[in-house]
Amino acid sequence: GQQLNQSPQSMFIQEGEDVSMNCTSSSIFNTWLWYKQDPGEGPVLLIALYKAGELTSNGRLTAQFGITRKDSFLNISASIPSDVGIYFCAGQLTGGYNKLIFGAGTRLAVHP
């Protein structure tokens, strides 16, 4: 089945630093999404990308849908302690009933 390769697996950074994570796929997706999951909770959507090349921001978060439609990245600027959590990329295929294919996640720790 389809797989997403997400990296890095984990990051430990200082408060105020910028963070970057990315996902690559062997399949072409028509939508890329980025989620954040806090302990004991389900994932919450951060950013959705619908067109190749699209660059979208949500506050301190910026994400891009790669031109090849096989990759995406997420940047977090000026990290704060509440950014701690697990970040997942997910892709949707055309005609796939909108089911999500997830990466394995990037675990972010922020040191004050």
Partner 1 sequence: GAGVSQSPSNKVTEKGKDVELRCDPISGHTALYWYRQSLGQGLEFLIYFQGNSAPDKSGLPSDRFSAERTGGSVSTLTIQRTQQEDSAVYLCASSIVGSEQYFGPGTRLTVT
- List residues binding partner 1 (CB under 8 A): 4, 6, 40-45, 48, 88, 90, 96-105
The encoded tokens of residue 8 equal 């890095």
Residue (of 75, 64, 66) closest to 19 by Cα position: 75
Nearer to partner 1, 77 or 96 (CB): 96
Geometric angle at alpha carbon 7, from 102 and 34, rounded to 5°? 45
The residue among 77 and 107 lying less far from partner 1, judged by its C-beta, is 107
Least Å distance, CB 54 to partner 1, is 16
Least separation in angstroms between CB 50 and partner 1? 11
SS3 82: helix
54: left (phi over 0), alpha (psi -120 to 50) or beta: beta
Is 40 or 59 the residue whose CB approaches partner 1 more closely? 40
In whole angstroms, the minimum distance from the beta carbon of 79 to partner 1 comes to: 22
> Which CB atom, from 66 or from 105, has the smaller least distance to partner 1?
105
Cα–Cα dist 61/56, whole Å: 8
